[in-house]
Amino acid sequence: MITVLLGPNGAGKTTAIRCITGAMSLDQGHIRILGLDPELDGETVRSDCGVVSAKPALFDRLTGWDHLTYASQLHGVAKAAIRDRVMVASTRFGIEHALDDQVGGYSTGMKTRLALARSVLHEPQLLLFDEPTSGLDPEAAQAVLALIRDMTADGHTVVMCTHHLVEAEGLADHVVVLDVGSDLVAGPPADLTRHYWPEDSVLIAVDSDPAAPTTLAHLTELPGVRRVEPANGGGDGPEALVVLDDPGVTPNVVAALTASGSRVRKVVPHEPTLEELYFAVRRSARNLREGSVAAPNNAELPGEESTP
């Protein structure tokens, strides 16, 4: 299972990871990791955690082999098993050919792979990744994310922080949105989406036409259509999010548009992205802070807030 901690810079994502391993003390509250309190049983907790920091935290003069044996020894891997563990981990992350090279000569992607290999050497139950794709090019970032996904196949639990919403999309089984040190929401993305967008809706795009906006607005007169909200799909013609009582009303909506002379370009069920969810949560939290009574599930339209 992969839990992704989302939040802007300073939200407390790195601090959360540091508190999980007991590297930092809590100001308030408590944490249980694998049934243990990290502040009291830090050594045991840290022995069962593999951490990759935002900076790869490597020594330029040492080789990849040196790093992996160093980590194995610190984590108490038996001397006889170290060689095998190093070979297995380095092969898995594709750095076995560079083990004898000094890390100073590694690319950023290789450094991240080495840090990932280092994090699994002692076979931890919990993996904590702090912005693992930071500084990587798109190909390398995608490869790293695929490796992280593969790790869950072995039964590892992964907690990953990021502020790159796109990379969290599809990866997260569970999402926690943090802000100023507290969690705003937590849960599986589908559940959270259903909470923020409880109504069925379809995104409809029509060809550019001076009458098109009016035609779209008049869809509210159709039975089963609750409301119509303009959307910004970036296409040639206008787009709208049509909120329905039931998805079965969609053919009627399309028929009505066609009958009015509009040429329908696109009809897709609206499935909010993680990015939309993130901004909806943040907007809702901001509204609450500012004392607004706006309901969180009211018309969270894509593109309404600029991307950070």
Residues near other proteins, by CB under 8 A: 18, 21-25, 43-44, 46-47, 49, 51, 53, 55-59, 61-62, 66, 70-71, 73-76, 102, 118, 128
The nearer residue to other proteins, 75 or 156, going by C-beta atoms, is: 75
Between helix 138-153 and helix 108-120 the angle, nearest 10°, is 10
Smallest gap from residue 130 Cβ to other proteins (A): 9
The nearer residue to other proteins, 44 or 252, going by C-beta atoms, is: 44
DSSP-assigned letters across all residues of 210-255? TTHHHHHHGGGGSTTEEEEEEE---SSS-EEEEEES-GGGHHHHHH
DSSP type of residue 46: H
The nearer residue to other proteins, 16 or 192, going by C-beta atoms, is: 16
> For residues 186 and 53, what is the distance between their CA atoms, to the nearest angstrom?
23
Q: What is the CA radius of gyration of the chain?
A: 24
* Measured CA distances, 213 to 51, 253, 301 (Å): 52, 15, 17
Smallest gap from residue 66 Cβ to other proteins (A): 7
Smallest gap from residue 34 Cβ to other proteins (A): 14
Smallest gap from residue 300 Cβ to other proteins (A): 36
The nearer residue to other proteins, 41 or 229, going by C-beta atoms, is: 41
Across the chain, how many H-helices and E-strands are there? 11, 10
Smallest gap from residue 238 Cβ to other proteins (A): 50
Task: Find out whether 124 and 50 touch, Cβ atoms under 8 Å.
Answer: yes
The nearer residue to other proteins, 71 or 177, going by C-beta atoms, is: 71
